[in-house]
Amino acid sequence: DLRHLPPELLLLVYKIKGADGNILITDAMRAAGQTGRESVLGGRLGGQRVIVEDGVAKLPDGSSFAGSVATADVLLRSGVQSGIPLVDVVKMMTATPAKIAGGKEIGAVAVGNKADLVLFDEALRIRAVLKDGRPVQIKG
Kindly list the catalytic residues: 27
Burial call 80-115: b when 16+ CB within 10 Å, e when fewer: eebebeeebbbbbbbbbbbeeeeeeeebeeeeeebe
Query: By the 8 A CB rule, do 25 and 64 touch?
Result: no
- Pair 85, 68: CB distance under 8 Å: no
Cα separation, 7 vs 10, in Å, equals: 5
Q: In what order do the strands lie in the sheet with 56-58?
A: 38-41, 48-53, 56-58, 65-68
Q: Specify whether the backbone of 68 is left (phi greater than 0), alpha (psi in -120 to 50) or beta.
A: beta
